[in-house]
Amino acid sequence: MTRRSPFSLEGRTALVTGANTGIGQGIALALAEAGATIVAAGRSDMSETLGLIEAAGANAVPLQLDLQQPGVAAEAIASAVAAVGPLDILVNNAGIIRRSDALDFSEADWDEVMNLNLKAAFFLSQAFAKAALAAGRSARIVNIASLLSFQGGIRVASYTASKSGLAGLTKLLACEWAAKGINVNAIAPGYIETNNTQALRADPERSTAILARIPAARWGKPSDIGGAAVFLASDAAAYMHGAILPVDGGWLAR
């Protein structure tokens, strides 16, 4: 009898938010390649992500929603379950960033970032956990934190606050839910080639300074985050609770 790999996600279902591009797309594809059925959720068109997953011989369905709207989290979990059955994995990846000096930062930009990056992640986790516990199922939550869960950064006040909050929330939920069979962990990506870092990569001075501080001497790719997500969603990470896993090319080690 062939032993199942502890990294396999065969037979499992995963909801990935913000899966249309960037890190979310990389995670959705990696989970699918490990065997999971994917619900790719977000406001934007998911056709590119679905095409990549289908080309890999895996299954995915789109779920269009706006996580900034009140009450959407519970509806999202219910819709995902209706589409693919009980969920095993939730990846809270959806997020935005707004850049401005702290002296000029607007209340609107603060609220928009906090509502999506932190509030939506909590209420999705709550609805997901309620469904898992009601069904008597173990489950995995993977939050996408940031280097700025550890550092301050500059000109991104609400983003830093939200990602620091998400790291704390990851630990709190792990403390409450670990004994109930729900693993809650987070990944802290470094500087990854995504829409959120386009402005930095287009600025020669900032890009050069960033690369000079990364021991790996390159920007990360969404696939670099995908492998870490597969690990945290799998049986290989069964005894991991409340961890914030940096995937940063060595940035924090410098």
Q: At which residue do the structure tokens 């050069």 appear?
A: 208
User: How far is residue 143's CA from residue 186's CA, in Å, rounded to a whole number?
Assistant: 4
- The H or E element that residue 61 is part of is strand 60-64
Q: What is the DSSP string of 13-26?
A: EEEEETTTSHHHHH
Q: Is 159 an annotated catalytic residue?
A: yes
What are the CA-CA distances from residue 242 to residues 8, 41, 98, 166, 230 (Å)? 22, 24, 27, 11, 16
End-to-end CA distance of the chain, in Å?
46
Instruction: Name the catalytic one among 159, 177, 231, 251.
Output: 159
Which has the closest alpha carbon to 27: 158, 194, 177? 194
User: How far is residue 230's CA from residue 66's CA, in Å, rounded to a whole number?
Assistant: 25
Q: Give the residue numbers annotated as catalytic, written as ranges.
A: 159
